[in-house]
A and B are shown apart, each in its own frame.
Chain A
């Protein structure tokens, strides 16, 4: 292939060449980082909660009027009994929060009473003896809570359970060299002994600030006994989610209508919880996708425009080349190679720019380091885009007749 004369010709058209190469470079830099952000967001979207999502719904219940802690606890237990009797319901439990909720109680966990810095942050989940079964969690080691260990907790009580369960991620963090079972850790209220290790349970927040303890949770044997109510987590038989949700609402209000449910968030399937939790991630991924597509389209249009202009400008020159023996394939190859050379130049600059842009994002927005695979994929994408964009004008050029060489200027 005639690379040297093509380069020589491009040197005579510096402005157009540099502009297109710069456009390719900038597009590559932005698209690489955008694709990387999309991938991270999509991966984030797909992170497992560890619970039986398809068959779970949650209720946020609040009592009307002045209710004591003891009354609240009694009402809560009645509600759980009502829920467990609803047709299609497998089990029901209560907690202060649930995975992907977006907020709740996070606290530090220490290995000794004197320790100032926490060993880890963790999400605090209240649980009764049916919490694991209701959520579909797997106990990796140790035991579940016994019914007699579950205590009601009001806003005035300290969090000082004698026993707790932790997730495997937290156990590994706290005791990387051995089993966590039977070990004592220190919560905000005092010491607690680990009696069980749960395989996988995601934290209640998927926000960036909670990412360093995303799967580190402490499960405490406590029930929320406050007038502001609590969350009920209900697991249904497979395929019974929607009818069970409708029946649960009816049953609870029939049993005690003096309660308040938020119109939008009073009762949610877990699919709705997941959708709401990742709304911003999805939005960001879509936005980045649109930006990438627009940039790629603009770059492709730029290549088509410039090549079409060059083909028009060089009609006679193409005719001369054909007269001197160039086949249609030679002319097609000329323009494809010309574009490839410009694209490679732009891609090299773009790869460096993509890495520089990512380093800036890493320091400025705590993003992850861009994988070089993304740069390579971006380079390949831009080269293919360039070749695709140049194809139509190049085919037009290859159809220029050799007789064009004899036309008067």
Chain B
């Protein structure tokens, strides 16, 4: 479903080159629920933005659902984002000027879907996250947990092949976070492929598989000394 091979992302200025990702390799199979963890600055968010085609990469290969994406133009990337990827952001990223219904409708409109189908999908998605009754509410009228549920409904409405979640519970209290995680697990059980970026090890344990990123590379937790150094600095048991 998602396969990156020797992928690199370099930020260049006139005087310095910074590798955000270096020789990055990952293979997520269809139906998997993978948690990508790592300390701040390790490159996990860069991985997510590249995985979601939000930005380009410098070298290597990236196949998404069997398509090599490195040579796609901006419009083609937009189309793939719209049709194959569902995003769940830490800050929910709902559009404050639009009500819940209109927010969920945004990606469907960009797909050029007819109104009756859009309405059906929106209501199904809102039913699924338990917010059908709040369709006419504006984001500011909802709690953080409800806003994230709307964001999940927006991600699900387009029936994406891949769900990318960036710290989906990062802005929520424990109880709301639990609810959102249970929802993601449920969605996974129904067959969705989910890649979740988090710095929270406890959340990561809820995923099927953990991928750890340090210094822009995927590492084997048991063997990589950088992991042990990091754990020592953080005061955690090695």
Whether a CB of chain A sits under 8 angstroms from the CB of B149 is no
- Taking a contact as CB atoms under 8 Å apart, the answer to whether B89 and A325 are in contact is no
Partner of A9, one of B52, B81, B97: B97
- Taking a contact as CB atoms under 8 Å apart, the answer to whether B106 and A324 are in contact is yes
Give every chain B residue within 8 A of A13 (Cβ-Cβ): 97
Give every chain B residue within 8 A of A329 (Cβ-Cβ): 75
Shortest Cβ distance from residue A130 to the other chain B in the assembled complex, whole angstroms: 80
- Taking a contact as CB atoms under 8 Å apart, the answer to whether B49 and A330 are in contact is no
Give every chain B residue within 8 A of A322 (Cβ-Cβ): 54, 78, 81
- Taking a contact as CB atoms under 8 Å apart, the answer to whether A12 and B54 are in contact is no
- Taking a contact as CB atoms under 8 Å apart, the answer to whether B93 and A401 are in contact is no
In the bound assembly, the distance between CA atoms of A330 and B102 in angstroms comes to 16
- Taking a contact as CB atoms under 8 Å apart, the answer to whether B110 and A8 are in contact is no
Known: A401-B54, A401-B55. A8 touches B82 (CB 8 A): no
- Taking a contact as CB atoms under 8 Å apart, the answer to whether A5 and B89 are in contact is no
- Taking a contact as CB atoms under 8 Å apart, the answer to whether A12 and B110 are in contact is no
The chain B residue sitting closest to A9, CB to CB, is: B97
Shortest Cβ distance from residue A209 to the other chain B in the assembled complex, whole angstroms: 58
Whether a CB of chain A sits under 8 angstroms from the CB of B91 is yes
* In the complex, number of A-B residue pairs with CB atoms less than 8 Å apart: 87
Shortest Cβ distance from residue A341 to the other chain B in the assembled complex, whole angstroms: 14
Q: How many residues of A contact B (CB 8 A)?
A: 27
In the bound assembly, the distance between CA atoms of A36 and B139 in angstroms comes to 49
- Taking a contact as CB atoms under 8 Å apart, the answer to whether A323 and B110 are in contact is no
- Taking a contact as CB atoms under 8 Å apart, the answer to whether A320 and B54 are in contact is no
Known: A8-B97, A402-B81, A405-B87. A325 touches B54 (CB 8 A): no
Whether a CB of chain A sits under 8 angstroms from the CB of B68 is no
In the bound assembly, the distance between CA atoms of A323 and B111 in angstroms comes to 13
In the bound assembly, the distance between CA atoms of A231 and B91 in angstroms comes to 88
Cβ proximity bits B89-111 to A, threshold 8 Å, 1 near / 0 not: 10101011111001001110111
- Taking a contact as CB atoms under 8 Å apart, the answer to whether A5 and B74 are in contact is no
Give every chain A residue within 8 A of B53 (Cβ-Cβ): 402
Interface residues of A in 326-374 (CB under 8 A from B): 326-330
In the bound assembly, the distance between CA atoms of A86 and B95 in angstroms comes to 86
Whether a CB of chain A sits under 8 angstroms from the CB of B83 is yes
- Taking a contact as CB atoms under 8 Å apart, the answer to whether A405 and B78 are in contact is no
In the bound assembly, the distance between CA atoms of A320 and B78 in angstroms comes to 12
Instruction: With a 10 A CB-CB cut-off, give which of A321, A325, A326 has the most chain B CB atoms.
Output: A325
Shortest Cβ distance from residue B99 to the other chain A in the assembled complex, whole angstroms: 7
- Taking a contact as CB atoms under 8 Å apart, the answer to whether A320 and B74 are in contact is no
- Taking a contact as CB atoms under 8 Å apart, the answer to whether A327 and B78 are in contact is yes
Q: Chain B contact residues (Cβ within 8 angstroms of A): what range?
A: 20 to 34
- Taking a contact as CB atoms under 8 Å apart, the answer to whether B110 and A330 are in contact is yes
Whether a CB of chain B sits under 8 angstroms from the CB of A114 is no
- Taking a contact as CB atoms under 8 Å apart, the answer to whether A328 and B106 are in contact is no
In the bound assembly, the distance between CA atoms of A403 and B74 in angstroms comes to 13
Instruction: With a 10 A CB-CB cut-off, give which of B55, B79, B102, B109 has the most chain A CB atoms.
Output: B109
Whether a CB of chain B sits under 8 angstroms from the CB of A409 is yes
Known: A323-B52, A330-B110, A406-B89. A5 touches B81 (CB 8 A): no
Whether a CB of chain B sits under 8 angstroms from the CB of A316 is yes
Interface residues of A in 267-302 (CB under 8 A from B): none
Instruction: With a 10 A CB-CB cut-off, give which of B89, B93, B166 has the most chain A CB atoms.
Output: B93
In the bound assembly, the distance between CA atoms of A327 and B110 in angstroms comes to 8
In the bound assembly, the distance between CA atoms of A13 and B98 in angstroms comes to 12
Partner of A323, one of B81, B98, B109: B81
Shortest Cβ distance from residue B170 to the other chain A in the assembled complex, whole angstroms: 10
In the bound assembly, the distance between CA atoms of A171 and B213 in angstroms comes to 101
In the bound assembly, the distance between CA atoms of A409 and B95 in angstroms comes to 14
Whether a CB of chain A sits under 8 angstroms from the CB of B212 is no
Partner of A406, one of B97, B98, B110, B166: B166
Interface residues of A in 303-321 (CB under 8 A from B): 316-317, 320-321
In the bound assembly, the distance between CA atoms of A406 and B53 in angstroms comes to 12
Give every chain B residue within 8 A of A320 (Cβ-Cβ): 89, 93, 95
- Taking a contact as CB atoms under 8 Å apart, the answer to whether A405 and B89 are in contact is yes
- Taking a contact as CB atoms under 8 Å apart, the answer to whether A324 and B99 are in contact is no
Partner of A403, one of B49, B91, B96, B106: B49
In the bound assembly, the distance between CA atoms of A405 and B111 in angstroms comes to 19
- Taking a contact as CB atoms under 8 Å apart, the answer to whether B98 and A8 are in contact is yes
In the bound assembly, the distance between CA atoms of A321 and B49 in angstroms comes to 15
- Taking a contact as CB atoms under 8 Å apart, the answer to whether B54 and A316 are in contact is no
In the bound assembly, the distance between CA atoms of A409 and B96 in angstroms comes to 14
- Taking a contact as CB atoms under 8 Å apart, the answer to whether B74 and A406 are in contact is no
- Taking a contact as CB atoms under 8 Å apart, the answer to whether A405 and B54 are in contact is yes
Whether a CB of chain A sits under 8 angstroms from the CB of B154 is yes
In the bound assembly, the distance between CA atoms of A325 and B105 in angstroms comes to 12
- Taking a contact as CB atoms under 8 Å apart, the answer to whether B54 and A323 are in contact is yes
In the bound assembly, the distance between CA atoms of A409 and B99 in angstroms comes to 21
- Taking a contact as CB atoms under 8 Å apart, the answer to whether B74 and A323 are in contact is no
Partner of B74, one of A327, A405, A409: A327
Whether a CB of chain B sits under 8 angstroms from the CB of A157 is no
Whether a CB of chain A sits under 8 angstroms from the CB of B48 is yes
Known: A321-B106, A326-B110. A316 touches B75 (CB 8 A): no
Whether a CB of chain B sits under 8 angstroms from the CB of A262 is no
Shortest Cβ distance from residue B226 to the other chain A in the assembled complex, whole angstroms: 25
- Taking a contact as CB atoms under 8 Å apart, the answer to whether B48 and A328 are in contact is no
Give every chain B residue within 8 A of A405 (Cβ-Cβ): 54, 87, 89, 93
CB-defined A-B contacts under 8 Å, sample of 8: A321-B106, A321-B110, A323-B87, A324-B87, A326-B82, A402-B54, A406-B48, A406-B49
The 9 closest A-B pairs by CB, nearest first: A325-B82, A9-B97, A325-B110, A324-B107, A12-B97, A403-B54, A402-B54, A327-B78, A320-B93
Beyond A325-B107, A403-B54, A405-B89, 9 additional pairs, beta carbon < 8 A = A5-B109, A317-B95, A317-B96, A320-B93, A323-B93, A328-B74, A401-B54, A402-B54, A406-B49
